Amino acid sequence: MSSARGIREVAYVDTRQGGGVRNAHAVRRGFEPLAWHDCAGGGQIVVEKGIAYVGNMRNPHGTMVIDVSDPKHPKPLAEIAMPIGTHSHKVRVANGIMLTNREVLGERAARGETPPEDFQGGLGIYDVSNPAKPKLITNWKTTDKPGPSYARGVHRFDFDGRYAYISPTWDGYLGNIVMILDLGNPARPEEVGRWWLPGQWTAGNEKPAWKGAAHKCHHPLRYGNRLYTSYWHGGFVILDIEDMAKPKLVSHVDWSPPFPWPTHTCLRIPFKIDNRDFMVVSDEDVVRLEGCPPYPSSFLWIVDITDEKHPMPIATFQLEDIPPEEQPYMTGCHQPCEKVTGTEIPVAWFAHGLRIIDISRPHAPKEVAHFMPDVPEGSTRVQSNDVTVDERGLIYLLDRVRGLHILERV
């Protein structure tokens, strides 16, 4: 049924064996749903040459490989498992090489699960020249010491086909740091350089000015000779990596407190708008700092980085339909699409599905389309966790708990 605003209830066929109608009550504006693929909930999806690679949130699922060359009929090709108490929820693919993170689950996510004593976190490195038959090249480890108590592993990372820009835990450091690996020989990754926030190197007698391990590298993203790096409750940093062996701090911004959420992703816009440079920054609606003013849920920032030594937040985007009272975790913003194809930025907005934010007027970002799926089976609400696009312009929306939507922008 259509409304004057173009919002519709839609139904389309899912791809589980036996088929059936899916999302009879999904609400969308500006999208044509093509398929819903039933799969374990995921943390990240990338699509390369008609193949989708999904990093799953929970074991035994690890990484799924799905043929989406026919977007209306996705076909599973392969799956790599992970042991109890661990996950592999992030994935990158370039030049026929797939990288997956290997990480011990946090206490909340583990729910009492204990990883194997011989598990070592780090990166899984695979040959995916034949996507249906991934071949393990090696597991790169964040520590040579046995047992997960020494290091959780790698969280998020970027990969350009030669170098990986990662966020590992490391002996002697408090929380995750920035590290650059050379994968010219993927069987023998070599560290090129590292950087950490002063106070993290406890083995070097540095003393943190904060409590706990919340000031940590979360997600480095490379653009040119810069790493735009979220640093969780430490805000974000811009790093100069012209000399990869010696990353240099360009600038550091931290807005928590007063805002309670950790900084999740810093997405550099790869073109100028009004002859200025911008970055879209998402805060993740989890792990709120104590003592901060109550807010409904996290939102998106627009940051002017024309003067990269003095980044300037110039606008925010917040959903109008979120009540003013503080909301449960994972209600608000999470992750923008890291493939930027224009000024319309798809954003996975946790309990509020997919939002398309137009930043053509950076001081006044606005929503121009959205897709709100049905609550997936096994969940109490929608948990849209990641979103990407492919070379055809199709949009892939991944739920944290269950299911992948393939959408066409109309």
Position 83 in a domain = yes
Position 72 in a domain = yes
- Name the one residue in this structure whose structure tokens are 């790493």: 227
Domain containing residue 42: 38-409
The amino acid that residue 152 corresponds to is: R
Q: How many domains does the chain have?
A: 1
For all residues of the chain together, what is the average pLDDT? 91
| pLDDT of 136 strictly over 70 | yes
Predicted TM-score of the model (pTM): 0.92
Q: Is 205 exposed, middle or buried (0-12, 13-18, 19+ CB in 10 A)?
A: exposed
| In the chain, % of residues over pLDDT 90 | 80
Position 12 in a domain = no
Position 17 in a domain = no
Position 30 in a domain = no
Position 220 in a domain = yes
* pLDDT classification of 117: cutoffs 50, 70, 90: confident
* pLDDT classification of 23: cutoffs 50, 70, 90: low
* pLDDT classification of 20: cutoffs 50, 70, 90: very low
pLDDT at residue number 9: 42
Q: Which of 265, 250, 255 is nearest to 235 (CA)?
A: 255
Position 221 in a domain = yes
Half-sphere exposure of 291 (CA within 13 A, CB side): 3
Please state the rounded mean pLDDT for residues 193-202: 96
CATH number of the domain residue 120 falls in: 2.130.10.10
| pLDDT of 148 strictly over 60 | no
At 81, give phi and psi (nearest 5°).
-85, 160
Range with the lowest mean pLDDT among 89-98, 136-145, 171-180, 235-244? 136-145
* pLDDT classification of 190: cutoffs 50, 70, 90: very high
Cα Rg, the chain, nearest whole Å: 20
Position 123 in a domain = yes
Please state the rounded mean pLDDT for residues 262-280: 98
pLDDT at residue number 144: 65
Please state the rounded mean pLDDT for residues 186-196: 97
| pLDDT of 344 strictly over 90 | yes
Q: Do 221 and 209 meet the contact criterion of CB atoms below 8 Å apart?
A: no
